[in-house]
Amino acid sequence: MPDLRPRRSALYMPGSNARALEKAKAVAADVVIMDLEDAVAPDVKAVARAQIATAIAAGGFGRKEVVIRTNALDTAWGIDDLRMAASTNAGAVLIPKVSSPQMLADVERVLVESGSAQRIWAMIETPLGVLNAREIAACAGHKNSRLTCFVIGTNDLVKETRAELDQHRTAAQYWLSAIMTAGKAYGLDVLDGVYNDFKDLEGLLRESRQGRQLGMDGKTVIHPDQIATVNDVFRPSELEIAAAERIIATFEQPENKGRGAITMDGRMVELLHADMARRTVALARAIDG
């Protein structure tokens, strides 16, 4: 399964906080997102840019996926952010407020000009981005596409729409499902938005479970204390792994070779379930290293 890697938890760390960047090396998040956008004030953007470059050059992040969130290209900082990111060995750049395929094409052009092979992650966090999610995701179907992941920006969507979210995120269900479906149609991972009250672990657990039920691959987080809860929710359980291994083993039995469907425990199990089982086992192995 190409490019299958755990993205259960993705921790935002402000690039303006050198201590936080150093601390990111020790956290249990699958992904560290070094932030140059919302978490960084305009007067320290350049400082944050330099500190992120230094932190990545120093290494020490182990198996974590390191991603840099830049400012958008149409801002005063975007092009400098992207060129700095391209000069590092970060795995991907996260582009905020992606509302059209052209925005990704512009980013890819800069990366190519910089000689970088980095992946592109896209934040879908504007009403237009939601409406254009299918066209944006379709960029992943182009030859040599770098687009790998969608990140949902629920806070910005709330701001732009003036929606009010209850504990079930009722008003956000269209956004979440539309973005998730578009992303999965083109093979992208999709990460859920942040849960703002980092002291409310019960609320985080509820929202994380909802995200997984919707098909998300993980969740972005804003505080290290949120990582364990999110990692646990998006990890296949021991029961899920055992059931998946059983399905795989049953399909591999000589009498079931070439069959499209079998009966297990009184229910029909098809080849698509075997594919799902293989992914479950592969993800568990990737998490365990």
183-213 confidence digits (pLDDT tens): 999 999 999 999 999 999 999 999 999 999 9
Task: Note whether 230 and 218 are within 8 A (CB).
Answer: yes
- pLDDT value at position 263? 86
Task: Note whether 107 and 82 are within 8 A (CB).
Answer: yes
- What value does the mean pLDDT take over residues 146-156? 97
Residue 259, pLDDT > 60, answer: yes
Q: What is the DSSP string of the chain?
A: -TT----SEEEEEETT-HHHHHHTTTS--SEEEEESSTTS-GGGHHHHHHHHHHHHHH---TTPEEEEEPPPTTSSSHHHHHHHHHTS--SEEEESS--SHHHHHHHHHHHHHTT---EEEEEE-SHHHHHTHHHHHGGGGSTT--EEEEEE-HHHHHHHHT----TT-GGGHHHHHHHHHHHHHTT-EEEE---S-TT-HHHHHHHHHHHHHHT-SEEEESSGGGHHHHHHHTSPPHHHHHHHHHHHHHHHSGGGTT-SEEEETTEEEEHHHHHHHHHHHHHHHHHH-
- What value does the mean pLDDT take over residues 4-21? 96
| Residues in Cβ contact with 26 at an 8 Å cutoff, skipping those fewer than 6 apart | none
pLDDT tens by residue, 76-96: 999 999 999 999 999 999 999
pLDDT tens by residue, 262-287: 888 888 989 999 999 999 999 999 99
Q: Compute the distance between CA of residue 182 and CA of residue 149 in angstroms, rounded to an integer.
A: 11
- pTM score above 0.85: yes
- Average pLDDT, rounded, for the chain: 95
- pLDDT value at position 179? 98
CA angle 126, 127, 132 (to 5 degrees): 95
Cα 247 to the chain's mean position, in Å?
28
